[in-house]
Amino acid sequence: MADSPSSSAQQARQDLARRLADLCRDSGLTGLELSVLCGWSRSKSSRIMNARTPPSADDIRAWCRACGAEGQTEDLIASLRTAEGMWVNWQRMERAGLRQAQEARLPLYRRTRRFRSYSSWLVPGMIQTWPYTTAALQSIQRRRGLVDDVTEAVAARMERQRVLYEGGRRFAFLVEESVLRSGIGGTEVMSGQLDHLVTVASLPNVSLGVVPMASDRNRWPAEGFWIYDAAQVNVELVSGYLTITQPGEVAMYAETFAELAAQAVYGAAARALIASARDALG
């Protein structure tokens, strides 16, 4: 279980370690006795109980057998998988290709009613055009040397966009002005993408804000992130994909979104920035 910059992931690891420590105590075993029963080094049980070493699924099975608590094995392994999933490096997340990585997020989108998205790198996936998505995913596939399933991955992302047009959902998108001017896919692709942003912004359930480039900003650009209702935040970093569920951390991202939204322009002013970026394409 790789180290994560998120206290949500750390908290999940600590919660699992605490449950295993409780099992050991409730069974009347010492850490040393547990190590002997499990057939591993004397210090391993202590490292697991103090969240210094993450257990494997086999470690949990052995632990539960030694404690006479085999009925809790599957639940504890499920907690392990949850903790592992809070921080996933790109190599692991995309090892089966880009299509699977795209499809894996669809259930989250379907159960969310309020979306907030901030992007400082690219146009958010939910409002990308097919050519723009193709260019972005082709770049990732080539750079990371992944299996070429870009066509299928693009189709999966377009399928995910259907929730944008379903009732009962609200979307707030914030993009840095630099996103409008950072070319990807060439002039024709960017021109079509900018036109699409104007169309999307006209939807009644969508707010599109553009944070202008300025020399006196009160809140500087941040890493791109998505907030799903008030329950979860996902952050795409250079090294991997972060899932945040701790209420305090989710609140920090919501506050950051509000600060950036206060600096953004909307409506006619946003359309003017988009038009300016389009004109700059020639």
pLDDT tens, residue by residue, 232-265: 999 988 878 888 887 888 899 999 999 999 999 9
Neighbours of 107 (CB within 10 A): 9
The reported pLDDT for the residue numbered 209 is 98
Say whether 170 sits in a helix, a strand or coil: strand
CA atoms of 45 and 31, how far apart (whole Å): 6
pLDDT at 2: 46
Cβ atoms 273, 210 nearer than 8 A: yes
Amino acid at 207: S
Residues of the chain with pLDDT under 50: 1-3
Amino acid 83: pLDDT: 75
What pLDDT is recorded for position 92? 75
The pLDDT value recorded for residue 1 is: 43
Q: What is the reported pLDDT for 78? A: 75
Q: Are 77 and 57 in contact (CB under 8 A)?
A: yes
Give CA 81 to chain center in angstroms: 16
Q: How far apart are alpha carbons 252 and 7 in whole angstroms?
A: 12
Contact 190, 184 (CB under 8 A): yes
Residue 7: what pLDDT? 62
Structural domains in the chain plus CATH codes: 7-85 (1.10.260.40), 89-280 (3.30.870)
